[in-house]
Chains A and B, each alone.
Chain A
Amino acid sequence: KNQVEQSPQSLIILEGKNCTLQCNYTVSPFSNLRWYKQDTGRGPVSLTIMTFSENTKSNGRYTATLDADTKQSSLHITASQLSDSASYICVVRSGTYKYIFGTGTRLKVLA
């Protein structure tokens, strides 16, 4: 069964600190993996997208890694800001139209 699992479910950190979110997947066939940021009540916004051959992709303070052998990905946020408070969703694309969504990690950054 195609599945994407994320951990932790929720996370609270202080402003300025770093954090790492995890994503484990069992999806076949694998096309790509992307991380989205979703503010409450808003549509997801893409942060990074990685294909099978890519190990690391950065977008500003966001750095995603992908280990295709162990089927694991992580999203590292550096020097967190209050505006980073959101849900972070890991999505694996399988085939042309099939997107397997993780349940997300809810991040709260405190001043």
Chain B
Amino acid sequence: DTEVTQTPKHLVMGMTNKKSLKCEQHMGHRAMYWYKQKAKKPPELMFVYSYEKLSINESVPSRFSPECPNSSLLNLHLHALQPEDSALYLCASSQVATSPTYEQYFGPGTRLTVT
């Protein structure tokens, strides 16, 4: 199974709402990532978890709160978002290793619209 799943596929939320995005993988990967992608732009790294610990936070606003409850699950909690936060949110996973040959697998993304 080389699949990364993300739910929901689409999410519309108001600026005062609280919602969560969910990501799951069963490949035994111990690194998981959140990316944000705006239209016609490459993905931008937000967070990296390694062995369920936050390793990288790319200066993301606190209205985005990541959580890694176990090695297979990654959540992104959303609160008080702004319309400019509307984007495709991608989750990815990979092995944690210095080997240059390991792959980073992406999920299908959650299309988020903030109204």
Contacts and interface: CB of A to CB of B under 8 A. Distances in A.
A104 B38 CA distance: 13
B28 interface: no
A99 interface: yes
Nearest to A51: B100
Interface residues of B, number: 29
B21 interface: no
B109 A43 contact: yes
Contacts of B41: 103
Interface stretch (A14-22, A66-74, A89-97): A89-97
B contacts with A: majority SS = strand
A41 B109 contact: yes
Could you say which of B40, B42, B45, B98 has the most chain A C-beta atoms within 10 Å of its C-beta?
B42
Nearest to B44: A101
B112 to A, nearest CB: 12
Contacts of A97: 31, 33, 48, 50, 55-56
Interface string A69-111: 0000000000000000000010001001101011110100000
B42 A101 contact: yes
A98 to B, nearest CB: 8
Contacts of B108: 42-43
B1 interface: no
Contacts, number: 53
Interface string B93-105: 0001110110111
Interface residues of A, number: 23
B111 to A, nearest CB: 6
Interface string B77-112: 000000000001010100011101101111111010
Contacts of B48: 97
Given A97-B56, A101-B43, A103-B41, A41 B100 contact: no
A92 B96 CA distance: 17
Nearest to B96: A96
Interface of A: 31-32, 34, 36, 41-46, 49, 51-52, 89, 93, 96-97, 99, 101-104, 106
